[in-house]
Amino acid sequence: MKTFLLVTLIAVAGAGSAYAQHEPSGRYTTLAQAPASGAKTGTGTGLIQRIDKEQGTVTIKHGPIQGLNMSAMTMSFPVKDKAMLAKLQPLQKVDFELSFDGKDYLITNIN
């Protein structure tokens, strides 16, 4: 049911698109995918779920993202610089800035 709600939210939000993925850890998350239009910047708050230093991504359970019309969900985002991941821990609460250049999402600041 949650999967259904999640997918419905994605469809309604229309802020780009997403993949729901069952990770090897047995969790389901959503991956950011190429959006449809327009450069934007948003800010959000969330709880870190997973950090992939090799891929340079961080998975965040986040609230609504102001400026990007994105609903609360769990998503994986690339970061601007992999060094930004060094100070992060799973289950850490973070504020972050998310840019959207018309093609990709990118975390430009996180702390």
Partner 1 sequence: MNHLSRRRFLAALAGAGAAGLAGGLLRREPAYAASGAGEQTTSQAAPPGAAEGLFTNRLRLPGASGLYAAVAAKDVRQITVSELNFEVLPGLPSPFWAYVAEVGGKRLLNPTLLARPGDRIELRMANRLKQPTIIHWHGLTNDERNDGVGMQQVASGRQYDYAFTVRDRAANYWYHPHPHDIAGEQAYMGLAGLLIVKDDEEEKLARALDLTLGVTDIPLVIQDRSFSFEGKLEYKLSRDQMFMGFLGEEILVNLTPRPYFDAARRIYRFRILNGSNARSYRLGFAQGGRLLDYHLIGTDGGLLEQPQKVREVFIGAAQRLDVLLDLRVASGNEPVFLKSLAFDPMHHESVDEKTGKPAAAAQGGADPHAAHAAPGAIADGTEMPLLRINIKSSPEYTRHIPSQLSRLPKLAATEGEPRRFTLGHDGKGNWTINGWRFNRHETPVTVQRGARETWLLQNNRASMPHPVHIHGFQFRVLERRGSPAQVTALATRRNGLLPQDAGLLDTVLVWPGESVRIALDFSHPFSGDQTYMFHCHNLEHEDIGMMIGYKVEA
Among 41, 47, 97, 99, binds partner 1 (CB under 8 A): 47
Q: Is 86 in the site for partner 1 (CB under 8 A)?
A: no
Distance, in Å, from the CA atom of 62 to the CA atom of 48, rounded to the nearest integer, reads 8
Please report how close the Cβ of residue 48 comes to partner 1 at its closest, in angstroms. Answer: 10
Distance, in Å, from the CA atom of 24 to the CA atom of 85, rounded to the nearest integer, reads 21
Segment near partner 1 (CB under 8 A); pick from 27-35, 76-84, 103-111: 27-35
Token representation of residue 20: 């729901």
* CB-count burial class (<10 Å; 0-12, 13-18, 19+) for 8: exposed
Footprint on this chain of partner 1 (rule: CB under 8 A): 1-4, 6-8, 10-11, 14, 16-30, 33-36, 45-47, 49, 51, 53, 60-63, 72-74, 89-91, 93
